[in-house]
Amino acid sequence: MPDILLDGERYNGLMGLVGRLEGSEIDPVLAAALIAFAFVFIHPFGDGNGRIHRYLIHHTLDRTGFTPPGILFPVSASIARSQGAYDAALERFSRAIAPYLDWAWQAGGSEEGPAITVRNRTGHLYRYFDATPQVEYLYGCVIDTVRR
């Protein structure tokens, strides 16, 4: 079983974000994008991050009342249809923070492959990211879901 990489600082930051957005007047799609992409950016698990990411989108849209009661709003289908755009939304974040990461391959690794060690403090890069590309991507998926 792979190690869970969700350390206290990242977990507390993510849960603080969820707490601030729950019950707020923020747009539901914006809230879903912020929560789900923040989760996938900290990439806490060796496997399953994408599935949890999509669950967080569905869950947030449901909890904020965006999705009518008793209806599954299949935004995951739109995400599956737009895999290239999804990858681009993730890459926009990764490219923006890459120059500020001091990292190295860790010898040995695990059965999943070599591990990466980050040698500098990076919390601020995740805590204050510009989510514009990710929010625009999710809005596009919501529009696609309604149209299809």
What is the secondary structure of 1-38 as a DSSP string? -PPP---HHHHHHHHHHHHHHTTSSS-HHHHHHHHHHH
For residue 18 the two structure tokens come to 């969820």
pLDDT band for position 54 (50/70/90)?
Answer: very high
The pLDDT, as a whole number, for residue 130 is: 93
Question: In terms of pLDDT, which residue wins out, 91 or 23?
Answer: 91
Give the C-alpha separation, 32 to 136, whole Å: 12
The DSSP line for 69-119 is TT----HHHHHHHTHHHHHHHHHHHHHHHGGG--EEEEEEEETTEEEEEE-
R_g of the chain computed on alpha carbons: 16
pLDDT band for position 46 (50/70/90)?
Answer: confident
Q: Is the pLDDT of residue 5 over 50?
A: no
For the chain, what percent of residues have pLDDT higher than 70? Answer: 89
Across 98-107, 114-123, 127-136, least confident range: 114-123
The pLDDT, as a whole number, for residue 112 is: 63
Give the chain's mean pLDDT: 87
Across 2-11, 31-40, 77-86, least confident range: 2-11
3-state secondary structure of 128: coil
Distances (CA, A) of 13 to 9, 20, 22, 58, 125: 6, 11, 14, 21, 12
The pLDDT, as a whole number, for residue 118 is: 86
Q: Do 65 and 58 meet the contact criterion of CB atoms below 8 Å apart? A: no
Q: Do 79 and 97 meet the contact criterion of CB atoms below 8 Å apart? A: no
Owner of token pair 């999943």: 112
Q: CA angle 67-73-76, nearest 5°?
A: 135
